[in-house]
């Protein structure tokens, strides 16, 4: 039976990561094996929610055009982030369709990151 409440993409579920888990991973990793892709618009990236340190801004509307530039990160873990988690979920699905296997959606996006009291940059 089809479940309308389950968010499942073409290649199965998108992995979710909480802000606390992502922060821990980034702190331990120091950016060596983990990349943050922020798929919001530039005005959101520098807006009141700020952005995660060292995040790469690639608005979701440009992701299909920039996907080949991300091939250098295929062997890394990618955490996609947006305002609330919806656009980044779509970004994860797109990345998975292009052969990226270690992708995570930041659960709750920057809203939950900020609410969790984690550091941001503007």
Q: Are 89 and 109 in contact (CB under 8 A)?
A: no
Residue from 63, 82, 95, 103 carrying the catalytic annotation: 82
> How many Cβ atoms from other residues are within 10 Å of residue 67's Cβ?
17
Active site residue 92: no
Estimate to the nearest angstrom the gap between the alpha carbon of 24 and the chain centroid. Answer: 15
Tokens for 86? Answer: 């919806």
- Rounded to whole angstroms, the Cα distance separating 94 from 86 reads 13
Element holding 110 (H helix, E strand): helix 109-115
Residues classed as catalytic: 82
């Amino acid at each position: 039976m089809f479940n309308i409440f389950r968010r499942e993409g073409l290649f199965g579920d998108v992995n979710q990561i909480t802000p606390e888990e992502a922060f821990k991973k980034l702190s331990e990793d120091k950016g060596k094996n983990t990349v943050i892709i922020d798929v919001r618009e530039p005005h959101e990236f520098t807006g009141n929610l700020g952005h995660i340190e060292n995040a790469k801004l690639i608005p979701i509307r440009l992701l299909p055009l920039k996907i080949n530039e991300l091939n250098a990160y295929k062997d890394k873990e990618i955490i996609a982030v947006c305002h609330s988690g919806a656009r980044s979920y779509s970004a994860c699905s797109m990345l998975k369709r292009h052969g990226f296997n270690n992708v995570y959606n930041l659960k709750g996006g920057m809203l939950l990151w900020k609410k969790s009291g984690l550091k941001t940059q503007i």
